[in-house]
Structure 1
Amino acid sequence: MLKPTMSSDYYETLDINRTATDADIKKAYRSLALKFHPSTNTEAGSAEKFCQLGEAYDVLTDARTKAIYDRFGEEGLRAGAPPESDQDDVWSSQYIYHGNPGKTFRQFFGSDNPFAHLADGLMCKGVKMQDPPIERDLHLSLEDLFNGCTKKIKISRRFMNECGGTSSIKDKILTLDVIPGWHEGTRITFPKEGDQGPNCIPADIVFIVREKTHRLFVREHDDLIYKTQISLEMALTGFCVDIETLDGRLISIPINAIVHPTYKKVVTGEGMPLSQNASQRGNLIITFDTKFPKSLNPESKRLIKQALHV
Structure 2
Amino acid sequence: MGASDYYKILKVNHGATEEELKKAFKKLAMKWHPDKNYDHHKKEDSEAKFKQISEAYDVLSDPKKRQIYDFYGHYPLNSHRYNKENGDGNVKDHEKKGAIESSLGCTLEELYKGCRRRMRVSRIVPDEFDNLTSVEETLKIDVEPGWKKGTKITFPGKGNQERGAAPTDLTFVVDEKPHALFKRDGNDLVMTHKILLVDALTGGKTLNLMTLDGRDLTIQVTEIVKPGSELVIHNEGMPILKEPGKKGNLRIKFNIMFPSRLTIQQKYELKKLLADADN
Give the TM-score normalised by structure 2: 0.61
What's 1:209 paired with?
Answer: 174
Distance in 1 between residues matched to 2:254 and 2:130, nearest whole Å: 66
What's 1:235 paired with?
Answer: 200
| Residue 135 in structure 1 maps to residue 96 in structure 2 | no
What's 2:113 paired with?
Answer: 147
What's 2:226 paired with?
Answer: 260
Instruction: Look up the equivalent residue of 1:231 and give its one-letter code.
Output: L
Instruction: Look up the equivalent residue of 1:196 and give its one-letter code.
Output: Q
CA contact (8 A) 1:133 1:205 kept: yes
Q: Deviations over 1:188-239 (max 9, x none)?
A: 1011101334411111001111111111011100000010001100001111
What's 1:245 paired with?
Answer: 211
| Residue 176 in structure 1 maps to residue 141 in structure 2 | yes
Distance in 2 between residues matched to 1:298 and 1:148, nearest whole Å: 57
**Structure 1 pair 237–159 and aligned structure 2 pair: CA distance change class (3 A):** same
| Residue 221 in structure 1 maps to residue 186 in structure 2 | yes
Give the alignment of 1:1-310 within 5 angstroms: 132-161=98-127, 163=128, 165-166=130-131, 168-238=133-203, 239-308=205-274, 309=276, 310=279
Local SS of the residue matching 1:200: coil
Distance in 2 between residues matched to 1:301 and 1:157, nearest whole Å: 71
Distance in 2 between residues matched to 1:202 and 1:148, nearest whole Å: 30
CA contact (8 A) 1:164 1:198 kept: no
Distance in 2 between residues matched to 1:299 and 1:166, nearest whole Å: 87
Gaps of 5+ in 2: 1-87, 91-96
Distance in 1 between residues matched to 2:235 and 2:241, nearest whole Å: 14
Deviation of 1:255 (Å): 0.9
Q: Deviations over 1:102-148 (max 9, x none)?
A: xxxxxxxxxxxxxxxxxxxxxx9x9xxxx511111111111111111
Instruction: Look up the equivalent residue of 1:171 and give its one-letter code.
Output: E
CA contact (8 A) 1:156 1:172 kept: yes
Distance in 2 between residues matched to 1:171 and 1:182, nearest whole Å: 27
Larger gyration radius, structure 1 or structure 2: 1
Q: Deviations over 1:58-112 (max 9, x none)?
A: xxxxxxxxxxxxxxxxxxxxxxxxxxxxxxxxxxxxxxxxxxxxxxxxxxxxxxx
Local SS of the residue matching 2:246: strand
Q: Deviations over 1:154-190 (max 9, x none)?
A: 11123444x5645542210010111111111111101
Distance in 1 between residues matched to 2:163 and 2:129, nearest whole Å: 7
Local SS of the residue matching 1:274: coil
Count the aligned residue pairs. Answer: 181
Provide the identity percentage.
37
Distance in 1 between residues matched to 2:170 and 2:208, nearest whole Å: 43
Give the TM-score normalised by structure 1: 0.55
What's 1:76 paired with?
Answer: none
